[in-house]
Amino acid sequence: MIHSLFLINHSGDIFLEKHWKSVISRSVCDYFFEVKEKAVDPENVPPVLQTPHHYLISIYRGKLFFLSVVQTEVPPLFVIEFLHRVADTFQDYFGECSEGVIKDNLVTVYELLEEMLDNGFPLATESNVLKEMIRPPNILRSVVNTLTGGSNVGDTLPTGQLSNVPWRRAGVKYTNNEAYFDVVEEIDAILDKSGTTVFAEIQGVVEACVRLTGMPDLTLSFMNPRLLDDMSFHPCVRFKRWESERVLSFIPPDGNFTLMTYHVSSQNLVAIPVYVKQNINFFETGSCGRLDITIGPKQNMGKTVEGLMVTIHMPKVVLSANLTATQGNYTYDLTTKVLVWDIGKLNPQKLPNLRGSLSMQAGAPKPEENPSLNIDLKIQQLAISGLKVSRLDMYGEKYKPFKGVKYLTKAGKFQVRT
Amino acid sequence: MLLLLHWFGQYSCCLAGCIVSLHVDPVICEAHTGVLYTELSPQECLPSLVLIPTRPRLFSVCRNEDLKEMLESSKESLKLEAMKRIVGLIAKGKNASELFPAVVKNVASKNIELKKLVYVYLVRYAEEQQDLALLSISTFQRALKDPNQFIRASALRVLSSIRVPIIVPIMMLAIKEAAADLSPYVRKTSAHAIQKLFSLDADQKEQLIEVIEKLLKDKSTLVAGSVVMAFEEVCPDRIDLIHKNYRKLCNLLVDVEEWGQVVIISMLTRYARTQFTSPWKENNEKAFYESDSEEKKGHTEEKPYIMDPDHRLLLRNTKPLLQSRNTAVVMSVAQLYWHLAPKHEVSIVTKSLVRLLRSHREVQYIVLQNIATMSIQRKGMFEPFMKSFYVRSTDATHIKTLKLEILTNLANEANISTILREFQTYVKSQDKAFAAATIQAIGRCATNISEVTDTCLNGLVLLLSNRDETVVAESVVVIKKLLQTQPTQHSEIIKHMAKLFDNITVPMARASILWLIGEYCERVPKIAPDVLRKMAKSFTAEEDIVKLQTVNLAAKLYLTNSKQTKLLTQYILNLGKYDQNYDIRDRTRFIRQLIVPSEKSGALNKYARRILLAPKPAPVLESSFKDRDRFQLGTLSHSLNSKATGYQELSDWPAVAPDQSVRNVEIIEASGSDSEEESSESEKTSSDSGKSSSGSEQSSSESELEQKKKKKTKKVPQKKSKPTAADRYSEIPAVYRCVCLLEGPVTTSSFGPVKTYELLHHMTGKGLAAKYHFPRQPCLYQPSMVAVQVILSNSSDHSLEEIHIGDRSPASLSIHCFNTIERLEPEASVTVSMGIDFSDSTQAANFQLCTKEDQFSVSIQPAVGELLMPSSMTEQDFCKEQGKLQGMNETSATITMETANASSQAISKQVLSVANVGVVSSSQNNFSRFAGRTVSSGALVLVSLELKESSTALLTINTEKTVMASMLLRDIKQALTQA
């Protein structure tokens, strides 16, 4: 399956290579570099490439390319999913997945890669199992290790791999038993010029942080599970129970994990929490333009909209922006041509407004299309679809855990066309 | 071999020496330096820990010397530090092979991290330093016998990763041993090792297949994925090895780890295509699978298609995996449904695929590619989700083009206006490559949907005045193609384009305009010669493609209007004659011979006009994904649109199903003779049942099982393992029940001949006729529903559209409707399946069957026997349950049977024809017993028949559903008393 892995940074240096079968020369990456050059933007590099003897499957995460070399037919998603899992693991271990961090923890990274694949086939990808075998670095431990010559490699053997719940390690103990669930919903929407909704849907995810002793068996039920249209579950969720009773029954992994992701049925009308009045004009003569944006609350269920931010990718010809904001502040990046207006909390009494002029390159033709607005926002304590957790029960253990649920609505890919 | 042994003898001696010396060293240190140690240690420690890392940078030449020194030191921490730096070198791709001897000495180290790092090094360089690598082998051989399963597994893992041909026999031996290991984890490792050995030495294939065959029988979920992977790598053509394990693999699938699921599903897809007959109705199929529909034609007309229960088992057990968080699993289930499921069931994968579009960019790319292929054949599948394919300005270019492709595929008369409006925004996009692609898409919509051709054309003409050159050029090219389909009305557009000609610089667009003018030169008689004049001036500066078209234009004009253009043509032909490009020289020569009459040019000259100005067929604008369906979906080959190494073709459905009985498995009781094997068996089953319960069912039993496991002693494994197996039966209803039916003691004719009832007569249905029967399969949609198959046929002379289910009564009636049938051609018929929850009553389910124009009220009244499903039971259980259902719950009657029905086979046959129950094997000859459960509430229904003398018999039915009992009694009585 996966033959080799190369990690390549933004500027095209290979800074890590790992081979699971015989060694493949790194010159194979030249084909990739060729394509990368042509694509200009790293986002545009196609994930699957063909070379005379190998196939290259790559992902782009955190300004790094994870490039895997494959020699025979394999489902490309298999490799892509795995590479993302590797990146997730790095993130989980080191807090971020960047070149610097990987270089600093080269040995741990190598040990992880060694455990995650055997002969190119995934072996241990569960974070709980990996953490038993290779402990994540932390400052205290690295100091202790330096002094005592200790190591990051766990001396216990990974029992999780054998158990019937491979995602949970055995012998978990906590003094405070707690289980937190975050219901996070994202609104994906496209609004057109006049503010009518072209397309809107809600995607949700239930993130969990469970710190419970022993082998607890949890049951989470919703007030209105009918809202959920399509979902995917962490392997721990018993699908049959969900099918028959619409409850989530599971033995949780230890620590943070994504319990489920869902999609709210498209029949329901999606509430759009803000409206945008915008007017962007580029004048035919005088090489300048005007911009006027006002944002106001719409359907926000009586909650405050926070963390409001507008991002605009301006056309290349816009040289600078001279604007005034009634609330928050704006920045215009001259090299990337991105205008960011950070508003913060939305005050319904005094609507935030950004207006002023844009100056353009002299002599350049007026851009044909106005740039679209990407909007970011947050609403605390609200799941915009109306989904509510009704209760959480625990079986199999005696103690009483602390339980908490938090709701959050965010803008996902929220775009206003102008 | 002898020589080899000798070798090892020597090396293991050496190694032993090493180990001894290592062990001795620290002791000496402690003994001798007891006092000095405290004094020296600060100085000694400091340089080793702080200074050494900086040293190599200063003296990079002797860096490796340095590392060697550290490795040979007696301090674990120094060695570890050295190994870490060596691994760092390997990771950066630098050569560290010269350190091999120094490193390999540490292979037997006690420090786990050090040992692991040495393993990493060893696996990397063993191939280059084969002789030295042999030094380490004996350590692994010893570890293979370790009592700890993890040490055994890791030893095997490293041993098999050392790519040294000389140790092949040792590996083989180790693999064989590990395949029989008690620990499933070690067996899993051995499955991985099989692939490694195979790639090292393909001659071992036969032996390895034996091991694979053995491991395939393994019941552990840990092993399943890995062994199927090995199977796929080593012997993918040995499909016969799968037969016996097919049902087990299907049933284990949910509990296998995600990566294994992907591999197993893709293997089972291939398997199913060779073993089952096609579930696709030929009327839908004709276009795509012409070859095999021919053969099937006669076959399907005779009797309705009945799906092999094993085929159904696979579909049912993979369906829950659509909810997996792993995108690869979802995709593999989707492709399985696409390639194996009846057409009307495929659409259940749609939602899940659309869900994947929320995932990472790379995932989107692959999924969109697959959707693009699917959407060509089945528009209906993705049409409701059209808006999910709307493009955002922040998408990557290749994602945008794929979305565009899909939107174009989905376009039809109904939604074209929405799509075109959406395309209008895309055309203005700042991403010009994407804007150009949009124009092409508009062109495709315009040719496919004749209603909008004019609108599109007008829109495209407007784009000709766009400022961006690529947009204009692309529009020209597309307009050219569109005009070709209906040239008569559009001389205005051609004139307009001729005007634009001076401003357009993109060669392809210029060439297109020239071609248009040439082709329709008679419609623009004034403009054409003028354009040629301009071209004659700029000929030498043009691109090749433009030159070629200029030559063409000249030739065409020469034929139609030679008075004005003769000289121009000759001038251009002369220029072309001396062009640098041989294509142009070639073409010029050809054209000259063809059009200019001379003594040498033969008969062809007469036909020049007919050759050059022949009416040309319009180009077909079609999707670039049109031919991708030759590859299996979700594969690398599909993604690249070319056959990848090792790609396995998906075979066509067999016309006649191969023997089904090959998949039957006898239940093998764990009859271990020696205690070791027994305990392994119990270890396996207990872990299995625990797992399946966690994965699918029943939470509370989890902890009980844990306790059981703890209590279990090695002495009594057999007793314990049996109840767990029984637990499994009761625990996992839907999935296992089907298997129980096939494997267990219950025999049933539920797949036998079926009675068909009329639902709607074609006279009352205005041509739409419907019949239904009860397939007696567990309902796919919900366990409490009764599965009903409806055969809809169209006996009218026009096609019927939008056949679906409308209002139902009583309103609470829960019906799982079939998907709307968009179109049913005359004389065609289609089978759809529905689920109806009758709530254990024979009250008719009334609903409306609607077409686009009409609505017909129909009703399905089930016979009471169809509201049951067979239940597996032993005779003892039967009697026990019967004892509980006495008194009120018992209904009985004495009947006189037809003599032909007197044998117990005949009785079974008659009873089973009336009721969907299971036969309970009986030890007494004069008793026949049948057991079933009601579908909705699961209440037991027990039927027993005691034969008395002279063909009288006592028929008894025990159930708490007394109404059902009396009705069932009546039905059975009727069946038995009549011949």
DSSP string of A86-131? HHHHHHHHHSS--HHHHHHTHHHHHHHHHHHEETTEE----HHHHH
- Subunit contact B327:A119, Cβ cutoff 8 A: no
Structure confidence at residue B40 (pLDDT): 36
B431 SS3 class? coil
- Subunit contact A164:B92, Cβ cutoff 8 A: no
Percentage of chain B exceeding pLDDT 90: 9
State the Cα–Cα distance between residues B573 and B576, nearest whole angstrom: 5
A14-28, B17-31, B477-491, range with the lowest pLDDT? B17-31
In angstroms, the separation between the Cα of residue B362 and the nearest Cα of chain A is 6
- Subunit contact A261:B325, Cβ cutoff 8 A: yes
Structure confidence at residue B676 (pLDDT): 40
- Subunit contact B257:A165, Cβ cutoff 8 A: no
State the Cα–Cα distance between residues A69 and A405, nearest whole angstrom: 43
Contact B842, B860 (CB under 8 A): no
In angstroms, the separation between the Cα of residue A349 and the nearest Cα of chain B is 32
Mutate to test the interface with A, among B636, B696, B710, B735 (most CBs of A within 10 A): B636
Question: Can you say how many angstroms the Cα of residue A124 is from the centroid of all Cα atoms in its chain?
Answer: 22
State the Cα–Cα distance between residues B71 and B155, nearest whole angstrom: 22
pLDDT, one tens digit per residue, over A240-266 is 888 888 889 999 988 888 999 988 866
In angstroms, the separation between the Cα of residue B892 and the nearest Cα of chain A is 36
Q: How much is the average pLDDT of B727-740? A: 33
* Strand pairing class (A274-282; A338-344): unpaired
Q: How confident is the model at residue A146 (pLDDT cuts 50, 70, 90)?
A: low
Specify the higher pLDDT residue, A407 or B503. Answer: A407
Structure confidence at residue B667 (pLDDT): 55
* Strand pairing class (B868-870; B855-860): unpaired
In angstroms, the separation between the Cα of residue A231 and the nearest Cα of chain B is 6
Contacts of A73 in chain B (CB under 8 A): 635-637, 644-648
Q: How many CB pairs under 8 A join A and B?
A: 273
Contacts of A313 in chain B (CB under 8 A): 393-394
In angstroms, the separation between the Cα of residue B822 and the nearest Cα of chain A is 21
In this predicted structure, the answer to whether residue A68 has a pLDDT above a threshold of 90 is: yes
In this predicted structure, the answer to whether residue B685 has a pLDDT above a threshold of 70 is: no
pLDDT, one tens digit per residue, over A291-320 is 899 988 887 777 888 889 999 988 888 888
In sequence order, the β-bridge partners of residue B848 are B857
- Subunit contact B645:A374, Cβ cutoff 8 A: no
Contact B471, B436 (CB under 8 A): yes
- Subunit contact B150:A158, Cβ cutoff 8 A: yes
A370 SS3 class? coil
Burial of B857 (0-12, 13-18, 19+ CB in 10 A): middle
> How many of the other CB atoms lie within 10 Å of CB of B913?
17
Structure confidence at residue B979 (pLDDT): 61
* Strand pairing class (A178-191; A402-416): parallel
Contact B251, B310 (CB under 8 A): no
pLDDT, one tens digit per residue, over B879-905 is 888 888 887 788 888 888 777 777 777
In this predicted structure, the answer to whether residue A181 has a pLDDT above a threshold of 90 is: yes
Contacts of B114 in chain A (CB under 8 A): 151
Contacts of B229 in chain A (CB under 8 A): 1, 121
Mutate to test the interface with A, among B112, B325, B369, B470 (most CBs of A within 10 A): B325
Q: Which helix (H) or strand (E) holds A310?
A: strand A306-313
Q: Which helix (H) or strand (E) holds B896?
A: strand B890-896
- Subunit contact B116:A111, Cβ cutoff 8 A: yes
Name the region of A92 (left: φ>0; alpha: ψ -120 to 50; beta: rest).
alpha
Which of A109, A203, A251 has the CB atom closest to B358's CB atom? A203
Contact A270, A200 (CB under 8 A): yes
Structure confidence at residue B41 (pLDDT): 37
State the Cα–Cα distance between residues A82 and A120, nearest whole angstrom: 11
Contact B449, B420 (CB under 8 A): no
Specify the higher pLDDT residue, B75 or B634. Answer: B634
In this predicted structure, the answer to whether residue B371 has a pLDDT above a threshold of 90 is: yes
- Subunit contact B387:A198, Cβ cutoff 8 A: yes
Buried b / exposed e across A323-340, counting CB within 10 Å, b at 16+?
bebebbebebeeeebebb
Q: How confident is the model at residue A58 (pLDDT cuts 50, 70, 90)?
A: very high
Structure confidence at residue B450 (pLDDT): 80
List the single residue in A with minimal CA-CA distance to B428. Answer: A369
Q: Which residues contact B98 (CB under 8 A, 6 or more apart)?
A: B64
Q: Which residues contact A274 (CB under 8 A, 6 or more apart)?
A: A295, A296, A297, A298, A300, A305, A308, A346, A375, A377
Which two three-digit tokens encode residue B657? 């199903």
Which of A22, A60, A395 has the CB atom closest to B699's CB atom? A395
Contact B278, B296 (CB under 8 A): yes
Question: Can you say how many angstroms the Cα of residue A385 is from the centroid of all Cα atoms in its chain?
Answer: 21
Which two three-digit tokens encode residue B58? 């200063």
Q: How much is the average pLDDT of A202-210? A: 91
Per-residue CA distances from B778 to B304, B458, B785 (Å): 18, 56, 8
Which of B49, B634, B645 has the CB atom closest to A72's CB atom? B645
| Amino acid, res. B701 | S
In sequence order, the β-bridge partners of residue A64 are A61
In this predicted structure, the answer to whether residue B721 has a pLDDT above a threshold of 60 is: no
Specify the higher pLDDT residue, B259 or B449. Answer: B259
Burial of A79 (0-12, 13-18, 19+ CB in 10 A): buried
State the Cα–Cα distance between residues A380 and A256, nearest whole angstrom: 20
pLDDT, one tens digit per residue, over A72-87 is 899 999 999 999 999 9
What does the radius of gyration of chain A's CA atoms come to, in whole angstroms?
25
State the Cα–Cα distance between residues A286 and A322, nearest whole angstrom: 15
Q: How much is the average pLDDT of A188-206? A: 87
State the Cα–Cα distance between residues B530 and B501, nearest whole angstrom: 12
Q: Which helix (H) or strand (E) holds A289?
A: strand A288-297
Which of A17, A76, A158 has the CB atom closest to B639's CB atom? A76
State the Cα–Cα distance between residues B44 and B78, nearest whole angstrom: 11
Burial of B714 (0-12, 13-18, 19+ CB in 10 A): exposed
- Subunit contact A239:B352, Cβ cutoff 8 A: no
State the Cα–Cα distance between residues A49 and A61, nearest whole angstrom: 18
Contacts of B648 in chain A (CB under 8 A): 73
pLDDT, one tens digit per residue, over B288-318 is 444 444 444 444 445 577 788 888 999 999 9
State the Cα–Cα distance between residues A377 and B235, nearest whole angstrom: 55
- Whether this model's pTM surpasses 0.90: no
In this predicted structure, the answer to whether residue B115 has a pLDDT above a threshold of 80 is: yes
Contacts of B691 in chain A (CB under 8 A): 164-165
In this predicted structure, the answer to whether residue B339 has a pLDDT above a threshold of 60 is: yes
Structure-token match 């079968």, residue found: A21
- The secondary structure of B175-234 as a DSSP string is HHHHHT-S-HHHHHHHHHHHHHHHHH-GGGHHHHHHHHHHHHT---HHHHHHHHHHHHHH
Contact A396, A216 (CB under 8 A): yes
Structure-token match 């995607």, residue found: A203
Q: How much is the average pLDDT of A106-130? A: 85
Instruction: Determine phi and psi for A270, rounding to 5 degrees.
Output: -95, 130
B563 SS3 class? helix
Structure confidence at residue B730 (pLDDT): 33
Which of B195, B320, B645 has the CB atom closest to A119's CB atom? B195
pLDDT, one tens digit per residue, over B541-593 is 888 889 999 998 898 888 888 788 888 888 999 999 898 988 999 999 888 88
Per-residue CA distances from B519 to B203, B446, B511, B554, B651 (Å): 65, 21, 12, 11, 46
Structure confidence at residue B763 (pLDDT): 80
Q: How much is the average pLDDT of B627-655? A: 86
Percentage of chain B exceeding pLDDT 70: 80
- The secondary structure of B709-723 as a DSSP string is HHH--TT-HHHHHHH
Q: Which residues contact B811 (CB under 8 A, 6 or more apart)?
A: none
- Subunit contact A158:B327, Cβ cutoff 8 A: no
- Subunit contact B127:A22, Cβ cutoff 8 A: yes
In this predicted structure, the answer to whether residue B734 has a pLDDT above a threshold of 90 is: no
pLDDT, one tens digit per residue, over B226-248 is 999 999 888 888 888 888 889 89
Structure confidence at residue B335 (pLDDT): 93
Structure confidence at residue B37 (pLDDT): 36
Mutate to test the interface with A, among B694, B702, B936 (most CBs of A within 10 A): B694
Contacts of B351 in chain A (CB under 8 A): 229-230, 263
Nearest residue to B850 via CA among B761, B765, B791, B774: B765
A50-59, B646-655, B682-691, B959-968, range with the lowest pLDDT? B682-691
Contacts of B196 in chain A (CB under 8 A): 21, 119
Q: How confident is the model at residue B403 (pLDDT cuts 50, 70, 90)?
A: very high
Structure confidence at residue A369 (pLDDT): 76
Q: What is the dihedral of CA B751, B756, B760, B764, to 10 degrees?
A: 150
Contact A68, A30 (CB under 8 A): no
State the Cα–Cα distance between residues B703 and B686, nearest whole angstrom: 13
Q: Helices B327-340 & B258-275, crossing angle to 10 degrees?
A: 10
Q: Which helix (H) or strand (E) holds A322?
A: strand A318-325
Contact B330, B321 (CB under 8 A): yes
Average confidence score pLDDT of chain B: 77
